[in-house]
Amino acid sequence: MNLRYMLSRITRGQFMARGIIKLGGGLITDKTRYKEVFRERIDAVSVVISKIVDLGYSVIVIHGAGSFGHLEAKKWDISGGYNPAISEDQYSAIETIRTDMDELNSIVLDSLVRAGVSCDSLPPRDWVNGVGTSFSGDVFAFERSPDLAVPVSFGDVVKINDESRFGILSGDHLMVRIATELPDVLLCAFLLGDTAGLMSGPPGIDESKLIEEWSESQGFIGEQDNRIDVTGGIHLKARCASLISRSAKQVWFIDGREPSRLLDIISGDSVIGTRIVPG
């Protein structure tokens, strides 16, 4: 089925299509400055999400943490789990991170609502145990028909039922579980904050070119800043997108500062971004 034909059937309610959109922490916050949020970028994405809902898609929104999570998590090694030598500081950092994530989540929800999208927040701390793609938790809570509220979730500090006691669940791992377990997932997009997609070299360098199509067999590329990121940066995203590409047709990395590119994907126009394919 080609995309235009599919789109006409989606808008007429004859074909179910699910779209999962991740607003990366680097898109919605300044990753280097504690709790510095880019509201205009969030608002621009919300307007496009509202259009996708109007097209008849069943949308799921996941967002990252950026500077609302990584800085404090790094400082107290929250992703390394319980450490008796600093446990008091770790528990107080967990409180802070969760409060900060709630604040970021409210900003995203508020923006979506202002764009006309009714939504429903599902914070992982309330329903997830464990980290990585094998966490336990019912992802079917995200399965909604297009006329219901859009479920929204995010990377969070979650419980773990072993000696590590707690850890960080990345929004990218949430994406994998939701995209590979729910039916009808057609579109899965990772919105980046500083590049047009996967690049052949570090962002901002002239020789770095956009990779238009990528499969895992091509190997990992690019650089990431481990001084800030506790969950794995672009390499984790690429690995997660590759897993998703085995079950969803349209898996993309695009520049979240140009959110209308999401509509280009949907309408089958040419897209500036990286399409992730299985392999």
- Interface residue list for ligand IPE (CB under 6 A): 24-25, 64-66, 69-70, 73, 97, 101, 155-157, 168, 170-172, 229-231
Pairing of the two strands 156-159 and 166-169 = antiparallel
Q: What are phi and psi of 27, to 5 degrees?
A: -85, -45
Q: Which is nearer to ligand IPE, 173 or 261 (CB)?
A: 173
Q: Which is nearer to ligand IPE, 156 or 255 (CB)?
A: 156
Task: Please report how close the Cβ of residue 131 comes to ligand IPE at its closest, in angstroms.
Answer: 10
Task: Please report how close the Cβ of residue 273 comes to ligand IPE at its closest, in angstroms.
Answer: 17
Task: Please report how close the Cβ of residue 186 comes to ligand IPE at its closest, in angstroms.
Answer: 22
Q: Which is nearer to ligand IPE, 235 or 249 (CB)?
A: 235
Q: Which is nearer to ligand IPE, 10 or 238 (CB)?
A: 238
Residues β-bridged to residue 189: 21, 252
Burial of 273 (0-12, 13-18, 19+ CB in 10 A): buried
Q: Which is nearer to ligand IPE, 98 or 249 (CB)?
A: 98
Residues β-bridged to residue 21: 61, 189
Task: Please report how close the Cβ of residue 264 comes to ligand IPE at its closest, in angstroms.
Answer: 23
- Judge whether 199 and 31 are in contact, CB under 8 Å: no
Q: Which is nearer to ligand IPE, 135 or 146 (CB)?
A: 135
Task: Please report how close the Cβ of residue 66 comes to ligand IPE at its closest, in angstroms.
Answer: 4
Residues β-bridged to residue 62: 22, 153
Task: Please report how close the Cβ of residue 170 comes to ligand IPE at its closest, in angstroms.
Answer: 3
Q: Which is nearer to ligand IPE, 187 or 230 (CB)?
A: 230
Task: Please report how close the Cβ of residue 14 comes to ligand IPE at its closest, in angstroms.
Answer: 34
